[in-house]
A and B are shown apart, each in its own frame.
Chain A
Amino acid sequence: MKRKGNKYFVILVAMLLMISFVAGCGGGTAEENQATEAEKIAVGINVELSGGVASYGSNARDGAVLAIEEINAAGGVLGMQLEPIIRDCKSTADEAMSVSAALAGENIVAQIGPLTSGDVQGSTPVMMENKIPLIAPAATAANVTVDDKTGETKAYIFRVCFIDPFQGTLMAQYAADELGAKNAAIYADTSSDYAKGLAEYFKKTFVEKGGTIVAEEGFVKDDRDFNATLTKIRSKNPDFIYVPGYYQEVAPLIKQARELGIAAPIGGGDGWDSPDMVSVAGGDALNNTFFTNHYSSQDTDPKIVAFVEAFKAKYDKEPDAFAALGYDSVQLLVQGIKDANAADSVKIAEALAKITNFEGITGKMSIDEQHNPVKAGVIIEFKDGVQVVRTRIQP
């Protein structure tokens, strides 16, 4: 009942907003009035600008707005200008739903955001009902684009990030092909679904590549002493140790591994990406360690360099992965609009599902039948405490 009441309220608010929007247009200058409504494409940006993950949302917004400005400056899409409508979903799923309902009332053709999987789930029913595509920049849970119960792909939900377990596949490829590892040990955070997913896919791919898993061990969140298990792993002499988890545990783990004289390369996922890695473990211990990520602002690819420069010039800060994914979400949408050759949300959704070889900042991607992008990931190496992009791996 509460939800329904909410919805009516939201529709009311949306109508009020529309009235004020129309009124606002009337008061504009002659120049603005020349661009009639038909020549504008409204893009909803429904992201977390306050609450727990406000930094994710605001960075994604900055990336998306930069993309829209660049596209408009280059003449827009199909001769029309993009118009961002930015709303805060306050880092809650309920609010994400209300905001989506309001945006649907403003005739958006598509929505960018929200960032977290949970908030996207909140927004999903409204988007499905209104047949408006949603492009999630960073929602990594598998069930964001696929219905858990029926196994059906959600027709209007897309994303530009790879799903978490895929990082395990990437690292296994890198360890086997580039580092020539034959025997790998896995030491994963067993209290996190994220790390368990990475470990599972690492194992699968590594074994497929003809490697052997010599040890499978686990730690849990807040563990600080890893010496016993590391000593056991040391006795197995692995060529590579895979440690998916978060930096709070991984940093002391790597430090203790090096103190025990383990020199083998160590790898992990984007949970490693924190300045605390270097301050806790130290640059020396981190040498010969690698992790997978969506993107790195240190990448020397000319396209990324240009993006980083444009972003810095506009916002005076380094673009993180969320900013890059926000930027790519808009670019993917533009590709969809071009392919559909119409600013019609249903046609755009159909076109989005067919996109192949789209060149984004975070890599070349093709949308698969589950609406997940098949795309490259970056392998980042710590070199004397500095993150260096080692390579980009295409699956």
Chain B
Amino acid sequence: MIEFAQQLVNGLSLGAIYALIALGYTMVYGIIKLINFAHGDVMMVGAYVGFFSITLLGTNILAAMLVAMLFCAILGVIIEKVAYRPLRNSTRIAALITAIGVSLFLEYITIFILGPAQKVFPSSAFPITEYHIAGISILNKNIFVFISAVVLMLILQYIIKWTKTGKAMRAVSLDMEAAVLMGISVDKTISITFAIGSALAAAAGVMVGVYYNTINPLMGIIPGLKAFVAAVLGGIGIIPGAMVGGFVMGLLETMVSGYGNSMYRDAVAFGVLILILLIKPTGLFGKNTGEKV
């Protein structure tokens, strides 16, 4: 029983990380129907900005997160302007391949500038406290990551459902041409979408840095892929879906490692992706019709 409760804590913490990354993934997809494969790498850039903010500028963790979010928001807007905007009216596969190109570009430009070796996130930035409750160990960083994921999801949901910008986003998502006729600036709306999505990635990056206390230029690849599976699982384009998908993925991986065989963990994760695509391609929360945001 204690072991199961501990595995639950492990699973929810891991799931919160996936959920954080999946939020940005799913939002960008929801608005412009682009699977932004560079999302995991924007997360990596965010982790590095947070790292340098703490080590060079001496900021605390929250300030580092804000600096990283700001930096990546601008980076996201630039990426969209340079790489995706010229392809907006091309086939979706062209945009997808470009996204993979952007992903590789970000990875190797970071290796070129900073070298391939991992960097150690200073542990002083986030002192760890352990709580032992009835044999279950919970760390303050688990709680921090979990709460951050839930809060960011709620903020995102609020922005999209209740603000004017959110309304514009939903309009662009529904019908780009009609949105233009209604006086919505599509370019501006998509820029904002990328800014928010990339800022979320940066927040996730700093949190992954704190959580695993090492960062490296290729750290975005595997979590990015897992988060993509989480987003598809929950129904890509649906924000609460990404959240639930992330937690399901985290729990699933944990339980496979904990009660099955740790060597099948990734096989199960990606097997789920195949199953979902075969049985219910729109995901757990997906509907076949209606708006997707």
Q: Which residue on chain B has the smallest CB distance to residue A281?
A: B213
Q: Is A20 an interface residue (CB 8 A)?
A: no
Q: Is B254 an interface residue (CB 8 A)?
A: yes
* Chain B interface main SS type: helix
In contact, B257 and A228 (Cβ under 8 angstroms): yes
Bound CA span A44–B259, Å = 56
In contact, A224 and B6 (Cβ under 8 angstroms): no
Q: Is B137 an interface residue (CB 8 A)?
A: yes
Which residues of chain A have C-beta atoms less than 8 A from B14's C-beta? 225, 227-228
Q: Is B103 an interface residue (CB 8 A)?
A: no
Q: Is B278 an interface residue (CB 8 A)?
A: no
26 contacts between A and B (CB under 8 A): A190-B263, A217-B257, A218-B263, A220-B266, A224-B208, A224-B212, A224-B219, A228-B7, A228-B253, A228-B257, A229-B257, A229-B262, A231-B7, A231-B10, A232-B3, A232-B257, A234-B6, A248-B216, A252-B213, A252-B214, A259-B130, A260-B6, A261-B137, A280-B120, A280-B214, A282-B123
A303 to chain B, nearest CB (A): 34
In contact, B214 and A232 (Cβ under 8 angstroms): no
Bound CA span A222–B214, Å = 11
In contact, A251 and B214 (Cβ under 8 angstroms): yes
Bound CA span A217–B261, Å = 7
Q: Is A235 an interface residue (CB 8 A)?
A: yes
In contact, A218 and B262 (Cβ under 8 angstroms): yes
CB contact list, B101-145 vs A, under 8 A: 118, 120, 123, 128, 130, 132, 137, 139
Q: Is B241 an interface residue (CB 8 A)?
A: no
Which residues of chain A have C-beta atoms less than 8 A from B222's C-beta? 222
Q: Which residue on chain A has the smallest CB distance to residue B123?
A: A282
Q: Is A162 an interface residue (CB 8 A)?
A: no
Q: Which residue on chain A has the smallest CB distance to residue B257?
A: A228
Q: 3 closest A-B pairs (Cβ-Cβ)?
A: A228-B257, A227-B10, A228-B254
Partner-A contacts on B (CB < 8 A): 3, 6-7, 10-11, 13-14, 17, 118, 120, 123, 128, 130, 132, 137, 139, 208, 212-214, 216, 218-219, 221-222, 253-259, 261-263, 265-266
In contact, A259 and B128 (Cβ under 8 angstroms): yes
Partner-B contacts on A (CB < 8 A): 190, 217-220, 222, 224-225, 227-229, 231-232, 234-235, 248, 251-252, 255, 259-261, 276, 279-280, 282
Which residues of chain A have C-beta atoms less than 8 A from B255's C-beta? 228
Query: Max chain B CB contacts within 10 Å: which of A224, A235, A252, A280?
Result: A224
Bound CA span A252–B210, Å = 12
Find A228's partner among B120, B130, B219, B262 (CB 8 Å cutoff): B262
Which residues of chain A have C-beta atoms less than 8 A from B221's C-beta? 222
* Chain A interface main SS type: helix
Which residues of chain B have C-beta atoms less than 8 A from A279's C-beta? 120
Which residues of chain B have C-beta atoms less than 8 A from A248's C-beta? 118, 214, 216
Q: Which residue on chain B has the smallest CB distance to residue A223?
A: B222
Bound CA span A255–B281, Å = 39
Bound CA span A42–B266, Å = 55
In contact, B130 and A222 (Cβ under 8 angstroms): no
Which residues of chain B have C-beta atoms less than 8 A from A260's C-beta? 6, 137
Find B262's partner among A217, A252, A259, A261 (CB 8 Å cutoff): A217
Known: A220-B266, A279-B120. A228 touches B11 (CB 8 A): yes
Query: Max chain A CB contacts within 10 Å: which of B17, B123, B214, B254?
Result: B214
Bound CA span A225–B257, Å = 11
Which residues of chain B have C-beta atoms less than 8 A from A218's C-beta? 262-263
